[in-house]
Amino acid sequence: MDATLFDLDGTLIDSFLDIARSANHARSVVGLSPLPEKVIYGYVGEGAQRLIERTVGPDRPELVPAALAAWREHYEAHCLDTTRPYPGIVEALEKLPGPKALVTNKPGPAARKVVEALGLSRFLPVIVGGGDVANRKPDPEGCRLALSQLPKVERVVFVGDSVVDAQTAANGGYGFVGVLWGMGTRETLSACGAKAFAESAEELPAACAAARLT
């Protein structure tokens, strides 16, 4: 039996605007002016702590605790304002065989709230988020925890959009599918060893099958 592990932000859901708006709210709380949302998009993928550290900037580390608290409070209230699954994701999840789980650096409570609200929990009964394990991706600890809660599997494919995801797959010894509608490009993901890609959600089942053969 084969299992598929998924990243969340930039892979299954387009959540960048809500994340960026909450990050700029956090900046305002600590007296900083807003950043362009596209700049903040580049800070997503390594968990809330790292997001806020990068959003605040390296010269004001003393502002990070208050900014992080402000981000968490704001994002809890606004994480579903504009966030939606990418087109075709639900249909792709329906077609993909075998057990599935979610492994994300997004804080676990927020990940579970979003997945449930968007109707994706029926495909992803196991969700491991930031704070659920000691080490965030690219450490594969979260993947191992997720797999321990699934039926025993022989092969694993990790589906993600970022260099962090590609490194996670490599560190865990899993196949990898790079999706090209999120943060990463074919070039950046190829440089991390990715050989299977999906340019649209419709291509995911075939890309996952290809990744299992590599």
- Among candidate residues 78, 108, 130, the one where a domain is terminated: 78
Task: Report the domain count for the chain.
Answer: 2
Where among 78, 95, 122 does a domain terminate? Answer: 78
Same domain? 196 vs 184: yes
Pick from 6, 208, 1, 9: nearest CA to 125: 6
pLDDT at 212: 83
H/E stretch holding 198: strand 196-198
Indicate which residue of 7, 14, 132, 161 is catalytic.
Answer: 7
37 and 108 both lie in a single domain: no
The predicted pLDDT at position 1 comes to 79
Which of 195, 182, 154, 199 lies closest to 1 in space, CA to CA? 154
Shared domain for 157 and 121, answered yes or no, is yes
Active site residue 7: yes
Give tens-digit pLDDT for 109-140: 999 999 999 999 999 999 999 999 999 999 99
How do the pLDDT tens digits run along the chain, 214 residues long? 799 999 999 999 999 999 999 999 999 999 999 999 999 999 999 999 999 999 999 999 999 999 999 999 999 999 999 999 999 999 999 999 999 999 999 999 999 999 999 999 999 999 999 999 999 999 999 999 999 999 988 899 999 999 999 999 999 999 999 999 999 999 999 999 899 999 999 999 999 999 987 6
Q: What is the pTM of this model?
A: 0.95
Range of the domain at 56: 16-78
Cα 29 to Cα 25, 55, 81: the distances in Å are 6, 13, 20
Q: How far is CA 116 from the centre of its chain?
A: 15
Q: Are strands 100-107 and 2-6 parallel, antiparallel or unpaired?
A: parallel
51 and 123 co-located in one domain: no
Residues 104, 94 within the same domain:
yes
Question: Do 209 and 157 belong together in one domain?
Answer: yes
Q: What SS3 class is residue 84? A: strand
pLDDT at 214: 67
